[in-house]
Structure 1
């Protein structure tokens, strides 16, 4: 590739003329059941196929958006919050009220986001799945991808601070019940009027693995190899 660029610049293409669309993310896991339960609860994803060692989940017309694999040899991560790799996946609601209603639904059963930011183009709440992966639930502040993309590209605000303003989601619920519009809430949030009490900056998710390993040290042995070659079709869960 280097030789082509050096000898014939006109033939060098920086990318495909028709780019593929992002379709799904795949996670290696030690507990397929816990992960399926989490993504169903938080993101409304249901299994298209669900086996003992794998599952493929979707919440739209695609055949799957998340895949979960319990592969032989898989071991717990070390220092998960600070290891290079995937930080989070993201899911978007069409409206502010749908987004806020989802927060209230999860908060009612004790599931709270670990990180909340108004990034300018989106308002985002970040949860952690059972393996310590981040899951962003967001709503577009512009309600238009073209406009939010242009704001990210052109705005001085995003260039100066691409993280944005932290917020307490319970305060957003209060503001909405008081009659403020989504745009008014976004404006006040971005102006840092809803910062949590005693806020301490954090951009990483809690590490569940030390406690899990303490409870079950055999996790360090990893997923054992099957005694025989795996079947083409896994036995579904009952």
Structure 2
């Protein structure tokens, strides 16, 4: 650590987003669910909460539990956090995660190709939306440029709803990752009656 005292500065020092903390009345159910979804494990758990991580960080999700916490039936129309998100390194990882979760009865409430990402949204036991995504460009600079400058994104900033089931079938039939994403964004894999969606958060809500 530098022992020299820092000089005053008006520049914005950019931090890294470290964790999200949630209030819950379902402590163990939430611990189990995030463990199933993205491999979160508690580093420390007690009756008042838990701190969980799926990497070297001391915690990525914090859970605070008290008997006073109750459900809000109108949470979707109140101000507050819309969703948290986790990013995978490849489209295959995202699709295989969808398949694994679907076999365990955990299904998304919305699945979409945003252009810059392919994103599957799930609902945790407390009703919070959680996004699992893949950067379609595999490069944050390129996907950021797409968001800023693409007329395709400007014309449709939400994107194209997709069927993970159809995308995985196409991938296993030999469609490569880049072509798969191109076809998905063009609307070749729309959801249909064979796709099951969790309706608690709203099927059409990102």
Shorter-chain TM-score above 0.5: yes
Q: Give me the whole-angstrom Cα distance separating, in 2, the residues matched to 1:116 and 1:190.
A: 12
Q: Give me the whole-angstrom Cα distance separating, in 2, the residues matched to 1:160 and 1:35.
A: 38
CA drift of 1:125 comes to 0.4
- SS for the counterpart of 1:21 is coil
Can you list the C-alpha shifts for 1:53-100, whole angstroms capped at 9, x where unaligned? 201111111111110001353222131222221111000111111111
Aligned counterpart for 1:175 among listed residues 170, 175, 179: 170
1:81–1:206 contact (8 Å) kept in structure 2: no
Q: Give me the whole-angstrom Cα distance separating, in 1, the residues matched to 2:71 and 2:192.
A: 34
Question: Are 1:67 and 2:62 counterparts?
Answer: yes
1:81–1:132 contact (8 Å) kept in structure 2: no
Question: Are 1:158 and 2:153 counterparts?
Answer: yes
Question: Are 1:45 and 2:1 counterparts?
Answer: no
1:116–1:125 contact (8 Å) kept in structure 2: yes
Question: Are 1:206 and 2:192 counterparts?
Answer: no
CA drift of 1:159 comes to 1.6
Moved more, 72-81 or 36-45: 72-81
1:132–1:205 contact (8 Å) kept in structure 2: no
Q: Give me the whole-angstrom Cα distance separating, in 2, the residues matched to 1:31 and 1:72.
A: 10
Moved more, 72-81 or 30-39: 72-81
Q: Counterpart of 2:136?
A: 141
Q: Give me the whole-angstrom Cα distance separating, in 2, the residues matched to 1:55 and 1:31.
A: 12
Question: Are 1:34 and 2:29 counterparts?
Answer: yes
- Flag the structure with larger Rg: 1
Of the two structures, which has the highest relative contact order with CA contacts closer than 8 Å and spacing of 6 or more? 1
CA drift of 1:153 comes to 1.0
Q: Counterpart of 2:87?
A: 92
1:117–1:164 contact (8 Å) kept in structure 2: yes
Q: Give me the whole-angstrom Cα distance separating, in 2, the residues matched to 1:76 and 1:178.
A: 44
1:56–1:65 contact (8 Å) kept in structure 2: yes
2:50–2:62 contact (8 Å) kept in structure 1: yes
Q: Counterpart of 2:6?
A: none
CA drift of 1:47 comes to 0.6
Structure 1, unaligned runs of 5 or more? 1-12, 208-238
2:19–2:60 contact (8 Å) kept in structure 1: yes
Structure having the larger proportion of residues in strand: 2
TM-score, L = length of structure 1? 0.75
TM-score, L = length of structure 2? 0.87
Structure 2, unaligned runs of 5 or more? 1-9, 202-206
